[in-house]
Amino acid sequence: MNLLSFGFWFGYTALPMTPWIFQALGLANAALFVAGFVVLAIQKWSGMSKLMRQSMRRLAGLLSTMGFVGLSLCFFVWQGIPFLSMRVFWIAWFAVFIWWGWWVWKQYKQGMKVLQSANENASYEKWLPKPKGK
């Protein structure tokens, strides 16, 4: 079994995974799925700013969706479904997970910059004179 061979990644019928790898993938994806709902619950019941709630919602969506897709891929491998158990789908899953995580992080950082500039603007404007007559 050569990891760099075309048939290993794109074979129509994939060979079964080593049991400990299959179990580790299943547990990791189940943990992602559950963590998404835990993050969503934390976001709902804690008093966070709007920016943090929005970031937590995005993170919860990432975790629960990727956990569900990963569990689905584990199910396809377990059942031995020819096309859907191809290992190339794991590479695609990982690439989408990294890209989506980067996007969530970028949106969070962008929001923090906006929040910081708003705080700096508010601290500057508190020393400006107030308009009279209103």
Kindly indicate the confidence band of residue 81, based on its pLDDT and cuts at 50, 70 and 90. confident
Q: With 80 as the cut, is the pLDDT of residue 133 above it?
A: no
CA-derived radius of gyration, the chain = 23
What length does the chain have? 134
How would you class 123 by CB atoms within 10 Å of its CB: exposed for 0-12, middle for 13-18, buried for 19 or more? exposed
pLDDT at 3: 67
pLDDT at 1: 57
pLDDT at 97: 96
pLDDT at 19: 85
Whole-prediction pTM: 0.78
Residue keyed to tokens 């190339």: 88
Query: 3-state class of 52 per DSSP?
Result: helix
Going from N- to C-terminal start, the domains of the chain cover 17-125
